[in-house]
Structure 1
Amino acid sequence: MTQTLALTSPSLATLPILGPTATDTKTIILIIDDASESLTMLSALLRPHYRVLATTTGASGCRIAGRAPKPDLILLDVMMPDMTGYEVLKHLRDNPKTGDIPVIFLTALANTGDEELGLQLGAADYIIKPIIPAVVLARVHTQLEAKLARDWMKDQNATLEAEVARRMTENDFTQRVSIQALARLAEIRNEETGNHLLRTQGYIQRLATGLIRHPRFAATLTDHYINLLYRSAPLHDIGKVGIPDHILRKPGKLNAAEWAIMQTHAKLGSDAIEQAEQDINIHLAFLTLAKEIAHWHHEKWDGSGYPDGLAQEDIPVSARLMAIADVFDALISARTYKPAMPYAQARDIIAAGRGKHFDPDMTDAFLAGFDDFVAIAERYRNLDSKPKRHPVIPDPTIQTRT
């Protein structure tokens, strides 16, 4: 049963202007009440200050509330025949388009339990009938001011979130460019390596992805880990900046002393990353993988690698993955000391290193996805694949200066 509203003093002419929103005719108030007298009275009270929409049924009120421009505030009668005010409020709250519209209940019910129920359902306030015009205007104004503040905060939060996202994206690109620039600095001194960085990134990502369901690696090779792996991979040979040109660019095979110096690039690289990390006093997860890869990607499964002679599971997963990616690319690329090798021959050498140079399961994953590795190599192949000096064909054991 809907109660008829009775206007009491003071008159409309004596009502104060209640701040900026009270004269903002763009502010929309929707009144939902099944009694036409109530709609007329409330409309007369509010229309001098706001744009007023009115309807006599809860169903139509829900439809109106969902249209654009949507109301800034809803005055909702509790007792209506088609839908009670409680049912209307629940419907409004369940709809994403109307869920944030503040609602003031209009009711003649003085039961505190009814008021408590309405507030629990999400009502902003209660106005008890018969209404006092000044009270209605004051409470309407209060709720509109609160909504204005919430909207402002929401806009500020959205702006802040957008700015944070923009800066994170910018920092992400800065990080990636910095990594590439540092890695290129090392590769520039190996003029013939070209797109080695892009290829090894592609190889290591493909190899890791192919192992994500393998019981030995599933716990480690998460999407996050693979992303960090992809980012850090270009730094695997950063230590080459510390190798003299007469060794790094030597067209022939290195002698024992030169090879010993060449091998130091692994530790030089990890030490450089470690020192940079200490300088900025920040621990970054991708740098942990970068250090692992730089330091240990020349270790071998059988323990015969360098610089520390680690074997099997003692070699970090990241370094074992890079070992295959790096050697494969070294084999198929022309260098100052050797020509490029056919893909099939490189595949056979990797296969022959299973359980000796390379992790057996990783080797199997490489062989299973070999066509993908070839596709990556072709996608980022050097524009000039010819060595810049006459090559010296190396020993089949391959002294790759990767």
Structure 2
Amino acid sequence: MEVLVVDDEVISRRMIENTLQEGGYQVTTATNGCEALEILKQRPIQLVVVDWEMPVMDGIEFCQSVRSGDSSRYVYIVMLTSRSQPSDAISGLSVGADDFVTKPFDPVELIMRIHSGRRVVAMESRDLMIFALAKLAESRDPETGAHLDRVRNYCRILALHLQRQVRFQDEVDDEFIRLLYDTSPLHDIGKVSIPDHVLLKPARLTTDEFEIMKTHTIRGAETIESMMEQFPNAAFLKMARDITLSHHEKYDGRGYPHGVAGEQIPLCSRIVAVADVYDALTSKRIYKKAYSHSRAKSAIVAGSGKHFDPAIVDAFLDNEDSFIATRKRFQDNLTCTTHGMPVTNTPFELVPAMMGQEL
């Protein structure tokens, strides 16, 4: 992540720059507030370390300008100062500084303050965008809110299990699980681009209509990629993009939109695939009754190594009780939804013929 360092003193500026670079940050520098404001206009930087006392425009004036501006993104400002009186902190906070570090600064403290700012920026961007995207999807997608709650909880159950497996420990950490929980409800965001006569059709889709339906993966990914250009440091957007694009891919390479296989499919998408299919199978639709857990389980097991990553199927089997409890906790009301997608059109084309009815 990039940090803008604003300080007119060369030695101080270089010390801050070196400290932040050692902490893993990219650093851009400016010598006064005016110069810093121009940089913020040109680049999507959201973390700033600014000295209080500078010529041309000092730190207080810089904070006032940032907070009175019309930027679409929040800028977290850490102010460096040799002032230590409570009244000074009040003055800085009142004009928009988020945190203070006293000169001469402790490198470890500065890194920790920047880490805190990074978390605030990430949470602020994540919460706002996820809310906006979820409301957009809700406006078109006839699925219920309970469906999204179930899927995100199924995903968390699976991810927590994988976290305990040596094979996945490097990838599935607490942050991965939080991101997965937050972004999995956006898996079908691309359905906002699907025409009503396809999305809301209460009967079997034709081959041509199904081809249109399949484009929701690409359209959703394109929507999120456009946001990534504006918020390149938002890690949750990358996961959201991966999920929307790849949750209909199959482990054997026979899915869509790109027919990738195995571990070429992002792990987050492989997890969502199992959660989404299980929920679709066990939920009532206008074209099908809800399957029992045991019947849905048979379909999931039948798809191991074909539709699904076998390791995630194993995680599902080891957590059946949690899936059943989640299903009961987030039950739909009596009004069923209308997705015109029978078994040959749904994400669970794998269901074996022995099940003998369309979903």
Of 168, 182, 192 in structure 2, the residue corresponding to residue 241 of structure 1 is 192
Of 165, 176, 183 in structure 2, the residue corresponding to residue 225 of structure 1 is 176
CA distance in 2, matches of 1:401, 1:177: 32
Of 152, 163, 175 in structure 1, the residue corresponding to residue 86 of structure 2 is 152
CA distance in 2, matches of 1:387, 1:225: 31
Offset from partner CA, 1:139-167 (integer Å, 9 cap, x none): xxxxxxxxxx7563896699776899899
CA distance in 1, matches of 2:277, 2:287: 15
Of 347, 350, 370 in structure 1, the residue corresponding to residue 320 of structure 2 is 370
Of 272, 285, 291 in structure 2, the residue corresponding to residue 341 of structure 1 is 291
Map of 1:62 onto structure 2 = none
Mapping of residues 234-383 of structure 1, within 5 Å: 234-278=185-229, 280-383=230-333
Answer yes or no: is 1:199 the counterpart of 2:142. no
Change (3 A) 1:192 1:268: closer
Offset from partner CA, 1:258-303 (integer Å, 9 cap, x none): 111100000110110001222x253311111111100001000111
Offset from partner CA, 1:333-368 (integer Å, 9 cap, x none): 223333322222111111111111000011010111
Instruction: Please give the secondary structure, in 1, of the residue aligned with 2:188.
Output: helix
Q: Which structure 2 residue ranges, 5 or more long, are not aligned? A: 1-82, 101-112, 350-359
Percent identity over the alignment is: 41
Offset from partner CA, 1:71-93 (integer Å, 9 cap, x none): xxxxxxxxxxxxxxxxxxxxxxx
CA distance in 2, matches of 1:224, 1:170: 15
Instruction: Please give the secondary structure, in 2, of the residue aligned with 1:195.
Output: helix
Greater mean deviation of Cα atoms: 226-235 or 243-252: 226-235
Counterpart amino acid of residue 131 in structure 2:
Q
Map of 1:67 onto structure 2 = none
Counterpart amino acid of residue 213 in structure 2:
M
Deviation at 1:400, TM superposition (A): 4.1
Instruction: Please give the secondary structure, in 2, of the residue aligned with 1:227.
Output: helix
Change (3 A) 1:311 1:157: farther
Offset from partner CA, 1:3-51 (integer Å, 9 cap, x none): xxxxxxxxxxxxxxxxxxxxxxxxxxxxxxxxxxxxxxxxxxxxxxxxx
TM-score (norm 2): 0.62
Contact 1:333 1:385 in 2 (8 A): no
TM-score (norm 1): 0.55
Counterpart amino acid of residue 201 in structure 2:
K
- When Rg is computed on C-alpha atoms for both structures, the one with the higher figure is 1
Counterpart amino acid of residue 165 in structure 2:
H
CA distance in 1, matches of 2:338, 2:217: 25
Mapping of residues 97-176 of structure 1, within 5 Å: 150=84, 152=86, 172=123, 175-176=126-127
CA distance in 1, matches of 2:276, 2:150: 9
CA distance in 2, matches of 1:170, 1:264: 32
CA distance in 2, matches of 1:290, 1:246: 27
CA distance in 1, matches of 2:306, 2:217: 20
Offset from partner CA, 1:304-346 (integer Å, 9 cap, x none): 1000001111111111011111111111222333332222211
Counterpart amino acid of residue 271 in structure 1:
E
Answer yes or no: is 1:399 the counterpart of 2:346. yes
Answer yes or no: is 1:216 the counterpart of 2:167. yes
CA distance in 2, matches of 1:263, 1:380: 27
Counterpart amino acid of residue 248 in structure 1:
L
CA distance in 2, matches of 1:281, 1:202: 27
Contact 1:299 1:308 in 2 (8 A): yes
Q: Which structure 1 residue ranges, 5 or more long, are not aligned? A: 1-148
